[in-house]
Each structure stands twice: as C-alpha cells, then as structure tokens.
C-alpha cells in the first residue's frame, strides 16, 4: 500500500487476475466511530445495509471464460465505521462548468444525506457562499440551474487549498464535468491536501450533458438533455414533412462527444426511411463538434479557447445549412430548410425523474464515502452499481461516440443511413482499432443529394 502522502495509485492484486484500483483513504490510523446510520429507523430494517469493506465492482462485466477477473472499483455505500465525528464535519459544495439538469438535486441530496443521515450541521455552498441546511435546499431540485452558481475558468489551486484550510473545511464535494474532475484531482493530489497532510476528503460527482467522462455508465443530466433534444427533433420532423422538399435541421450540444445527437436520434426513430424517400423530406441531426476539420477549408480557422481552455467550436450548423442551400440553388431545386438549434434549452431544464433518482444515489454514495474516510474519488455508476473511482481513471481520457461501436451500428440500422467507414462488415473486434480512422468525406459537389459529415446523424432520404 502507498504511503498517505504519495501520489501513487493504490492498487491491490488478487487471485485470478483480480485488480482493485482503489481510492486513497484519509487516515488509516485515526480513530473510527460507529456509523450513526445503525440507529436510523429507515435503514435499520435493511439486511446487510452496510457495505463490506472487501466488496468491489468489475469494470468490465462481459468476460471471457478463461480471461482474468480484471479491474475493479471499490463498491460505494455506507460503512460500519466512519472516520468523522458528525460534530467535527465542516463540508462545502461547489458546482463548476456548464449547467446540467440535476445539479440542484445533487446539492439537495448531499445536504440531506449529511444532515439527516449523519447529523452534520455545518455545510457551506460555494461560490455563492451560503450556509446550507435541509430547509434552504428543500425544493431546489424542482428548478434547473444551480443555486450555487457556476463558472468556467482556471482557478488558483493553491488559493483554493488555502481557503479550505483557513475555513477548517474537511469534506469538499465538487460537482462538475471532466474539467472539474481534473481540477478536483489537482486540489486533492498535487498542490495541497495530500501534500499538506490535511484530514480533508475531496469527492467528485460527475455531471455533464456531454457524457464525455470515461469509466462510468453515464453522467447525470444526459437523460434529461436527450429527452429535451427529442422535442427539437420532433419539431424538425413536422417542419420537414409539411414542406416541399422539407429539411428539418437540428444542431445539438455535446462538445466533441456526440452522445446527445446519437441517443436522441436513436430514441426518436419514428420515421421510416422508405416512406421518406417517396415524400422527399429529410431530418438532419448534427452534433455540435462534427465536421470541425472540414470547415477549416471553407471557414476561417478558429483557435479560440474558453476560460477553461476548451476549444471554442466553429458553427458546423451554419456551414452545413449554407452548403445544402448552395447545392439546391445550383441545381435550381425547391427546398425548405428549417433550422432548429435548441442549444441551452437542453441543459437549463430541471432534471427528469430518472436523472433525479440517479442524482440522489450519486450524492448519497459520495457522502457515505467521505464519512468513511475515503478521498480522491469520483462517485460513479459502473455496470449499474455505485462505485468510488480514483481520479486518475476519470481524467485519463474523454469519452466520445465510437463509430465502430455497437450503439452506432444500432443507430445506422434504425435510420438507414450509410456508415462513414469504407469497410464495415465482417471484421472481428480485434481487427478494428478503437479510434478507427474515418473515411475522408466527399465534397458536397460529389455527394448525390446526401451530405455526410460524421458524427452527423440523419434519417436518410434521397432528395431527388
Ligand atoms: N485541465 C484542467 N486542470 C485543472 N483544472 C481544470 C482543468 N480543466 C478545467 N479545470 C477546472 O474545472 C472547471 C470547469 O471546467 P470546464 O469548464 O471544462 O467544465 P466541465 O467541468 O468539463 O463541465 P462541462 O464540460 O459539463 O461544462 C474550470 O473552471 C477549471 O477551474
Ligand atoms: O456556452 P458555454 O456555457 O461555455 O457552454 C457550451 C458547452 O457546454 C456544454 O453544454 C457542456 O459542456 C457543451 O455541450 C457546450 O459545448
Ligand atoms: Mg467538460
């Protein structure tokens, strides 16, 4: 096991190729207290309510019969012993990055779990510095946004750690996307808390409509964003089918990942490609990060970054709609292009029922872990179970739609659109690299009425 001040990953090997990628524990040597939940009437009836210290969850649930047991994560949940006395806890909650449905639900649940389950009274909301209790957060989950405010931009990590230390905060709950989890990892490991030897748990809760955080099944807010995106797609269908050579065009958020576009298209598969061929209408769904390389040919190159160093994306929607219009004009064809860009509507809404439940579980798991003395982890769902994932796994890469994956194949088969790959069939999984190179796309002039831009998803029809 690594020493408390080392940054080395904590890895435990077991028989049969078992690997536990464990999360750091604050204080293996400090006193423990009985978990107050054991006297809580709601939980006392649950058989085996406390999680066994040796329980873990496999990262890969599908295994070959002869394969090793593989990587596991610590199972989340309440422990028999906790490492904080309730009176000693001074927690803070912060939300960072873009808005996401469910932020308020997570804030509410962290506060409720700390106060109702563990009897913690000192909880602070940051950046809008407000003391939080069950009364303050009572109905915030019904609202979109975050009551704490959020922002992008580099923060001075040393100042953050100084402030944590000066205020006597010992549990930090950081709710945010991939950038935020990177920041949380730095706060935990490199600059301060671990190096200064502070008894402070730093806990991440993964939020983002982009779904670009690796390892976890999905981030909260995605479900709601997809639901909302479908409303735009439905409107595009109505416009497309009611106009002569109608094209309903929808651009959806999701940065470089493309998940909202893929899931919303798959979910709204309410059109039959053959019928559409006959009626000459079409719906195009564009992921906001699509075609960035293609555009640099025709649009001024854009190297701008936002305050968090995320690349500011060029407007592929404008580029594609202009290209389509140009082509129809050239061919002297009638066409009615209706653009729908729901942008911030997808993330400013209150969360759906399923996201709300997910938020509650994530927040409760986060609190149980911090109370049990774990730190430097993101609370996340892996194969349907709540786990504690070490930061280095969460920050190692960004998830995006894989166009050699099964989900993409399902989408292709539901929309009848062609694959963007030259060779797509009869390859075994080993023959296709994870990040298979995409086929260069045809210029608009050669595309015979169909414009292909990955990962644009569209219900394909011929316009002529
Ligand atoms: N590479 C990084 N290292 C340290 N901190 C970072 C890094 N990237 C981002 N952060 C911190 O995380 C905060 C939020 O990052 P960002 O704006 O990228 O949003 P996010 O958390 O990825 O959420 P979303 O993508 O859903 O909007 C930033 O304000 C910054 O303080
Ligand atoms: O305009 P903002 O607030 O920077 O947010 C835009 C970005 O935020 C997200 O909604 C979430 O990261 C992205 O999908 C989008 O590109
Ligand atoms: Mg992000």
Range(s) of the chain covered by CATH 3.40.50.450:
10-211+351-394
Task: Give, in order, the Cα–Cα distances in Å from 161 to each of 26, 143, 200, 450.
Answer: 16, 31, 10, 54
Tens digits of residue pLDDT in 174-220: 999 999 999 999 888 765 577 777 889 999 999 999 999 999 999 99
Which range of 128-132, 139-143, 154-158 scores highest in mean pLDDT? It is 139-143
Per-residue DSSP letter, 50: S
pTM: 0.87
Residue 123: what pLDDT?
A: 97
Q: Which of 210, 223, 355, 452 is catalytic?
A: 210
- Measured in angstroms, how far is the CA atom of residue 91 from the centroid of ligand 1? 21
Tens digits of residue pLDDT in 423-463: 544 444 444 444 443 333 333 223 322 333 344 454 433 33
Residue 190: what pLDDT?
A: 61
- Residue 233, class by beta-carbon neighbours within 10 Å (0-12 exposed, 13-18 middle, 19+ buried)? buried
> Which residue CA neighbors atom 9 of ligand 1 most closely?
179
- Measured in angstroms, how far is the CA atom of residue 185 from the centroid of ligand 1? 11
Tens digits of residue pLDDT in 285-312: 999 999 888 886 555 555 788 888 888 8
From the CB of 207, is ligand 2 less than 6 Å away? Answer: no
Q: Domain 222-347+402-459: what homologous superfamily?
A: Phosphofructokinase domain (3.40.50.460)
- Measured in angstroms, how far is the CA atom of residue 306 from the centroid of ligand 2? 10
Q: Are strands 90-95 and 56-58 parallel, antiparallel or unpaired?
A: unpaired
Query: ω before 455 within 30° of 0 (cis)?
Result: yes
Residue 259: what pLDDT?
A: 97
Provide the pLDDT confidence category of residue 35 given band limits of 50, 70 and 90: confident
Provide the angle, in degrees to the nearest 10, between the axes of the packed helices 406-415 and 259-267: 50
From the CB of 365, is ligand 2 less than 6 Å away? Answer: no
Residue 34: what pLDDT?
A: 83
Residue 300: what pLDDT?
A: 54
The number of beta carbons lying within 10 Å of the beta carbon of residue 8 is: 9
398: three-class secondary structure by DSSP: coil
What are the residues facing 12 on neighbouring strands? 20
> Which residue CA neighbors atom 11 of ligand 2 most closely?
98
Residue 453: what pLDDT?
A: 37
Among the residue ranges 62-71, 154-163, 296-305, 392-401, the one predicted with the least confidence is 296-305
The pocket of ion ligand 3, defined by CB under 5 A, consists of 177-179
For a ligand 2 pocket test, name from 95, 255, 257 the mutation site with the most ligand atoms within 8 angstroms of its C-beta. Answer: 255
- Proportion of the chain above pLDDT 70, given as a percent: 83
For a ligand 1 pocket test, name from 179, 222, 399 the mutation site with the most ligand atoms within 8 angstroms of its C-beta. Answer: 179
Residue 443: what pLDDT?
A: 34
Q: What average pLDDT score do residues 356-379 get?
A: 96
Q: Nearest ligand, CA of residue 313? A: 2
Tens digits of residue pLDDT in 244-276: 889 999 999 999 999 999 999 999 875 544 455
Residue 25: what pLDDT?
A: 85
- Measured in angstroms, how far is the CA atom of residue 109 from the centroid of ligand 3? 23
For this structure, is 306 an active site residue? no
* Ligand 1 neighbours by CB, cut-off 6 Å: 96-98, 100, 152-155, 176-180, 182-183, 186, 208, 210, 308, 310
Atom of ligand 1 nearest to the CA of 207: 26
For a ligand 2 pocket test, name from 99, 206, 210 the mutation site with the most ligand atoms within 8 angstroms of its C-beta. Answer: 210
Range(s) of the chain covered by CATH 3.40.50.460:
222-347+402-459
Q: What average pLDDT score do residues 115-143 get?
A: 93
Tens digits of residue pLDDT in 5-16: 567 888 999 999
Distance CA 385, CA 84 (A): 25
Tens digits of residue pLDDT in 221-252: 999 999 999 999 999 999 998 988 899 999 99
Provide the angle, in degrees to the nearest 10, between the axes of the packed helices 259-267 and 222-242: 60
Residue 174: what pLDDT?
A: 96
> Which residue CA neighbors atom 9 of ligand 2 most closely?
98
Compute the mean pLDDT over every residue in the chain, rounded to the nearest whole number.
84
- CATH code linked to domain 10-211+351-394: 3.40.50.450
């Amino acid at each position: 096991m690594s020493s408390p001040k080392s940054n080395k990953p904590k890895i435990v090997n077991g028989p049969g190729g078992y690997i536990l990628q464990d999360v750091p524990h604050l204080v293996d040597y400090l006193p423990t207290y009985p978990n107050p939940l054991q006297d809580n009437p709601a939980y006392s009836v649950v058989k085996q309510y406390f999680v066994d210290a040796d329980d873990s969850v496999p990262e890969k649930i599908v295994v070959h019969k002869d394969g090793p047991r593989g990587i596991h994560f610590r199972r989340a949940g309440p422990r028999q012993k906790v490492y904080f006395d309730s009176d000693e806890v001074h927690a803070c909650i912060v939300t960072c990055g873009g808005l996401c449905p469910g932020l308020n639900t997570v804030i509410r649940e962290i506060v409720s779990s700390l106060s109702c389950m563990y009897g913690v009274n000192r909880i602070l909301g940051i950046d809008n510095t407000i003391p939080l209790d069950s009364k303050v957060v009572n109905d915030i989950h019904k609202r979109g946004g975050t009551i704490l405010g959020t922002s992008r931009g580099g923060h001075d990590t040393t100042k953050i750690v100084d402030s944590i230390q000066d205020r006597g905060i010992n549990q930090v709950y950081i709710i945010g996307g991939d950038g935020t989890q990177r920041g949380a990892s730095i706060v935990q490991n490199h600059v301060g808390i671990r190096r200064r030897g502070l008894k402070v748990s730093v806990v991440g809760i993964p939020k983002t409509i982009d779904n670009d955080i690796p390892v976890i099944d999905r981030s909260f807010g995605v479900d709601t964003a997809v639901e909302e995106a479908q409303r735009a797609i439905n409107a595009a269908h109505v416009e497309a089918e009611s106009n002569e050579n109608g094209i309903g065009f929808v651009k959806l958020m999701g940065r470089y990942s493309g998940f909202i576009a893929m899931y919303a298209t798959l979910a709204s598969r309410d059109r039959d490609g053959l019928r559409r061929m006959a009626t000459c209408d079409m719906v195009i769904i564009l992921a906001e990060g699509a075609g960035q390389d293609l555009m640099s040919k025709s649009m001024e190159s854009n190297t701008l970054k936002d305050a968090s160093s995320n690349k500011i994306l060029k407007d592929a929607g404008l580029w594609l709609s202009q290209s389509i219009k140009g082509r129809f004009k050239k061919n002297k064809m009638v066409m009615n292009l209706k653009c729908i860009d729901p942008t911030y509507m997808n993330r400013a809404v209150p969360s759906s029922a399923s996201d709300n439940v997910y938020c509650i579980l994530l927040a409760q798991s986060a609190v149980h872990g911090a109370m049990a003395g774990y730190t430097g982890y993101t609370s996340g769902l892996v194969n349907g179970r709540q786990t504690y994932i070490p930061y280095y796994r969460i920050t190692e890469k960004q998830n995006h739609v894989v166009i050699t994956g099964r989900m993409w194949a399902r989408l292709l088969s539901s929309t009848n659109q062609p694959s963007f790959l030259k060779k797509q069939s009869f390859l075994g999984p080993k023959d296709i690299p994870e990040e298979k190179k995409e086929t260069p796309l045809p210029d608009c002039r050669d595309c015979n009425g169909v414009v292909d831009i990955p990962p644009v998803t569209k219900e394909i029809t011929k316009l002529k």
